[in-house]
């Protein structure tokens, strides 16, 4: 039995995590669930965006499934997401994006973005002076080696064929140059059959839209990975299609890549696909690959049978789409 911490969060978080949890419960009885609070709802109830009790629950569980939080306007706000990534040493952010039948504007996409998750712009190190603001962006050899090693290992174990290093070393010669040189060294030393490729972030963004099939696994720095994964999600059909996993040596947190979507919160129109697929990623991480595959196949089956969500111009909201996924799982009418 594995213990999963559920953190619904704010906005559409509780809606899509409710759908994902019902799929997980239908898929296996080898999970037990505990629930914690995070985000604005946690602040209102406990005076903290990431209460200590929540962090303890995350640490004592085998994995966590998290929805999304809304960022308040307060200037001294520290993101609970950045905090748990740091506290749990979740150095790798794995963001697979694939289109399903009847989704995707530029042809099929099946790309995995491996995003460095611990430094770069996200250390929020900003210094004001009379003339403006200086933002410090740190790139360390250790973080580059960890994330590139993770990407190589992931690609080899997943039977992937190539890794593209995405960077801006033509401008950020020292910092992105360090990332690129470590990539070149590790790929040449890996002795693997993986093809090594390199692209500047700007041209990679363009190619993801015009020719997504040229990418297999992408490894990149923190902010580039954040932006590129939303570009890839757009190509697949929208933000509702991008699951993600934050992975470290001991802990893991899986979450849809999207935010709390206040514009559609409470309407029942949120696409739960990214949350459901984040649950499947979590199962694979917990060595339950077959169960994960049955969920992924059921999602693909729901789309290929024409059950389209609102973001694709269809008529299915979170609950009715999830019902079709559950039906596909029950009837094994999978692809």
Q: Which stretch binds ligand NAD (CB under 6 A): 29-37, 113-121, 260-268, 319-327?
A: 260-268
Q: Which of 165, 194, 221, 264 binds ligand NAD (CB under 6 A)?
A: 264
- Distance spanning both ends of the chain, measured CA to CA: 28
Is position 287 annotated as part of the catalytic site?
no
User: Among residues 212 and 243, whose Cβ is nearest to ligand NAD?
Assistant: 243
Is position 25 annotated as part of the catalytic site?
no
Instruction: Compose the 178-217 pattern: x for residues touching ligand NAD by CB under 6 A, - for all others.
Output: ----------------------------------------
31 binds ligand NAD (CB under 6 A): no
- Could you tell me the two tokens for 49? 């965006």
What does the alpha-carbon distance between residue 87 and residue 76 come to, in Å, rounded to a whole number? 19
**Given 168, 176, 197, 224, the catalytic residue:** 168
239 binds ligand NAD (CB under 6 A): yes
Comparing CA positions, the residue from 78, 88, 29, 83 lying closest to residue 58 is: 88
What does the alpha-carbon distance between residue 287 and residue 213 come to, in Å, rounded to a whole number? 29
Is position 62 annotated as part of the catalytic site?
no
Q: Which of 258, 284, 307, 316 binds ligand NAD (CB under 6 A)?
A: 258
**Given 25, 77, 195, 202, the catalytic residue:** 202
What does the alpha-carbon distance between residue 229 and residue 219 come to, in Å, rounded to a whole number? 11
Residue 134: count other Cβ atoms within 10 Å of its Cβ. 10
225 binds ligand NAD (CB under 6 A): no
Q: Which of 8, 14, 238, 243 binds ligand NAD (CB under 6 A)?
A: 238
What does the alpha-carbon distance between residue 310 and residue 149 come to, in Å, rounded to a whole number? 39
Is position 226 annotated as part of the catalytic site?
yes
Q: Which of 36, 104, 259, 317 binds ligand NAD (CB under 6 A)?
A: 259
Residues 287-316 that bind ligand NAD (CB under 6 A): 311
Which residues, in sequence order, are CB contacts of 264 under 8 Å at separation 6+?
12, 270
User: Among residues 158 and 262, whose Cβ is nearest to ligand NAD?
Assistant: 262
What does the alpha-carbon distance between residue 47 and residue 39 come to, in Å, rounded to a whole number? 10
Helix, coil or strand: residue 135: strand
235 binds ligand NAD (CB under 6 A): no
Q: Which of 271, 278, 291, 301 binds ligand NAD (CB under 6 A)?
A: 271
User: Among residues 16 and 182, whose Cβ is nearest to ligand NAD?
Assistant: 16
Residues 81-110 that bind ligand NAD (CB under 6 A): 81
15 binds ligand NAD (CB under 6 A): no
List alpha helices for 62-211, DSSP H. Answer: 80-87, 141-157, 175-190, 201-210
Query: Please, what is the angle between helix 80-87 and helix 52-60, to 10°?
Result: 40
**Given 10, 226, 269, 311, the catalytic residue:** 226
Say if residues 244 and 254 touch (Cβ distance below 8 Å). Answer: yes
Say if residues 245 and 252 touch (Cβ distance below 8 Å). Answer: yes
Residues that bind ligand NAD (CB under 6 A): 12, 16, 68-71, 81, 238-240, 255, 258-264, 270-271, 274, 311
Residues labelled as active-site residues: 122, 168, 202, 226, 230
């Amino acid at each position: 039995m594995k213990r999963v911490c559920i953190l619904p969060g704010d906005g559409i978080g509780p809606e899509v995590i409710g759908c994902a949890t019902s799929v997980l419960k239908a898929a296996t009885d080898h999970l037990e669930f505990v629930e914690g609070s995070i985000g604005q709802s946690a602040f209102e109830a406990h005076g903290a965006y990431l209460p200590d009790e929540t962090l303890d629950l995350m640490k004592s569980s085998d994995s966590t499934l998290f929805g999304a939080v809304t960022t308040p306007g307060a200037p001294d706000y520290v993101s609970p997401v950045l905090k748990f990534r740091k506290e749990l040493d979740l150095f790798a952010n794995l963001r697979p994006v694939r289109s399903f039948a009847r989704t995707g504007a530029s042809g099929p996409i099946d790309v995995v973005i491996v995003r460095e998750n611990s430094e770069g712009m996200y250390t929020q190190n900003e210094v004001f002076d009379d003339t403006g603001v200086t933002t410090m962006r740190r790139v360390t050899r250790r973080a580059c080696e960890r994330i590139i090693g993770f990407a190589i290992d992931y690609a080899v174990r997943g039977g992937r064929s190539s890794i593209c290093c995405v960077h801006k070393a033509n401008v950020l010669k020292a910092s992105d140059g360090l990332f690129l040189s470590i990539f070149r060294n590790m790929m040449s030393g890996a002795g693997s059959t993986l093809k090594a490729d390199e692209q500047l972030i700007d041209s990679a963004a363009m190619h993801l839209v015009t020719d997504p099939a040229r990418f297999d696994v992408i490894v990149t720095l923190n902010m580039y990975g954040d932006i590129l994964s939303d570009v890839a999600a757009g190509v697949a059909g929208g933000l509702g299609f991008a699951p993600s996993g934050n992975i470290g040596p001991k802990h893991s947190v899986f979450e849809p890549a999207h935010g709390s979507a206040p514009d559609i919160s409470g309407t029942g129109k949120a696409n739960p696909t990214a949350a459901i697929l984040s649950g499947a990623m979590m199962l694979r991480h917990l060595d339950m690959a077959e169960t994960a595959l049955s969920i992924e196949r059921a999602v693909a089956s729901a789309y290929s049978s024409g059950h389209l969500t609102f973001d694709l111009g269809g008529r299915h909201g979170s609950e009715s789409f999830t019902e079709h996924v559950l039906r596909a799982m029950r009837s094994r009418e999978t692809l």
